Amino acid sequence: MAVVTPRVFVSHLAGTPVFDPNGDQVGRLRDLVALLRVGDRPPRLLGVVVEVISRRRIFVPMTRVGGVDTGQIVITGVVNMRRFEQRTSETLVLGELLDRRVQLVETGEEVTVLDIGITQLPARRDWEIEKVFVRKGRGAGLRQKILGRGAAPGKGGGRGEALTVEWSAVTGFSLEEHGQGAESLLATFEQLRPADLAGVLHHLSPKRRAEVAAALDDDRLADVLEELPEDDQVEILGKLKDERAADVLEAMDPDDAADLLSELPEEEKERLLALMRPEEAADVRRLMAYEERTAGGLMTTEPIVLRPDATVADALARVRDPDLSPALAAQVYVCRPPDETPTGKYLGLVHFQRLLRDPPFTLVSSIADTDLPALPPDTPLPEVTSYLAAYNMVAAPVVDESGALLGAVTVDDVLDHLLPDDWREDGLHGHPAAGPIGGVRPGRGADGR
């Protein structure tokens, strides 16, 4: 049986109440933010603009937005309350796409956009624009009519035939194919893995590298920064506004953010830490207190932590989180409250293979490996490496003198420090992604810079 993906027309979402997980209203949806792409590729939705009670408009990523297909918007997780500022690569769906004059590809006829249909991609949290509701002929005030009356596709309410077409059936929306601007480069690179995109970014000119970095969303830029050499990281971060630099640091893994901040002058480091959310900054400060080539300096403070009364089903739900790296998702750590690091007493760990062998209702405390020793935070890098090799592990728990779990060292972070200092340079130079892409040779834009 075919999977039916939800589709929603954006006019029905304008002004929709937005609730937190407890059912309390936090504001209303005022717009949706999309990333246009080259040619007829459907735009991806980055998030929504919510007007909170104080009338401030904030941005909420789509990964934290639920209930879109039911007409009741629910946001989850921690939301950044900074005022929304539209970036050059972003397009407002309600504010900029409705009332737009575009052309039908088949006939070349000019039409007016009345509404936009969005759909959720199967088995993913991403949404993209799929349909366009248009009317032939001309009219005035269409956006106001739709937003005020909630007009639905098929009821244009004006002269001319109204019809719903695929995004690819109209032209006049997408980025220009020529010119190879930052947005065009970004669209070309969109399907690359972070490590591959880092390889391309490394070989661009500093000017073009800054343009592409500015056009990436915070999460994507954070992923790419983690794969770049330190010099490139410092250069890119230094060209961002302080507020955005703090947002990107928050989106990075705490250990990578700590490594990057340690390369900055003390004044700049403290300024950025002060702009970060207190809980995020506290994790980074804690990591910066340890020597770099020790378990404490290598660890991440965000492993999967479960209480003793959690079940195998609970553990598997956490392991399925697509935002987790494979190394972090390989095992869960059983601890007494509190659940955030540093936790209560560390009790043991459970590898995901063991989770797959036991019934869903099994308590994780009953199957935890309690015999495997944990690492003190001052364990030097060679001993951390030997530990992972001896026990065939991809991650290791780091525990303090009181028995609290501080974090976990993953094999990828260990490899970063075992390889030569210039391994990224060699790898980036030799990576297939560093070759010509989209008709432009890395290091030169279309204008030769």
Place of tokens 């624009």: 129
The CATH superfamily assigned to 305-418 is CBS-domain (3.10.580.10)
**DSSP assignment, residue 294?**
B
Residue 360 banded pLDDT, cuts 50, 70, 90: very high
Q: Which residues, including other chains, have CB under 8 Å from residue 215's CB and lie 6 or more apart?
A: 87, 88, 89, 182, 183, 186
- Say if residue 136's pLDDT is above 50: yes
Domain boundaries, the chain: 7-94, 100-171, 182-289, 305-418
Q: What is the pLDDT of residue 189?
A: 66
Residue type present at position 201: L
**Measuring CA to CA, which residue among 224, 225, 269, 264 is closest to residue 246?**
269
**DSSP assignment, residue 265?**
-
Q: What is the pLDDT of residue 376?
A: 96
**DSSP assignment, residue 377?**
T
**Measuring CA to CA, which residue among 209, 203, 217, 416 is closest to residue 327?**
416
- Say if residue 177's pLDDT is above 60: no
- Say if residue 264's pLDDT is above 50: yes
Compute the distance between CA of residue 212 and CA of residue 197 in angstroms, rounded to an integer: 11
Residue 178 CB-density burial (10 A; 0-12 exposed, 13-18 middle, 19+ buried): exposed
Spacing of C-alpha 324 from chain mean position: 11
Q: What is the pLDDT of residue 77?
A: 76
pTM tops 0.75: no
The dihedral sign for the CA sequence 430, 436, 437, 443: positive
Tokens of 173: 């929306």
For the range 65-72, what are the long-range contacts, defined as Cβ-Cβ under 8 Å and sequence gap of 24 or more? 68/6, 68/8, 68/13, 68/118, 68/120, 68/127, 69/6, 69/7, 69/8, 69/120, 71/8, 71/12, 71/13, 71/16, 72/16, 72/17, 72/19
Mean pLDDT of 357-365: 95
Topology of the domain covering 7-94: SH3 type barrels. (2.30.30)
Under 8 Å between Cβ of 41 and 158: no
Mean model confidence pLDDT for the chain:
82
Tell me the sheet residues that pair with 59: 49
Spacing of C-alpha 309 from chain mean position: 31
Q: What is the pLDDT of residue 425?
A: 54
Residue 325 banded pLDDT, cuts 50, 70, 90: confident
Q: Three-state secondary structure along 20-78?
A: CCCCCEEEEEEEEEEECCECCCCCEEEEEEEEECCCCEEEEEHHHEECHHHCCEEECCC
Higher pLDDT, 273 or 77: 273
Domain over 182-289 is classified CATH 1.25.60.10 = yes
**Measuring CA to CA, which residue among 31, 37, 3 is closest to residue 15?**
31
Q: What is the pLDDT of residue 68?
A: 82
Q: What is the pLDDT of residue 152?
A: 46
pLDDT in tens, 89-103: 788 898 888 888 889
Residue 410 banded pLDDT, cuts 50, 70, 90: very high
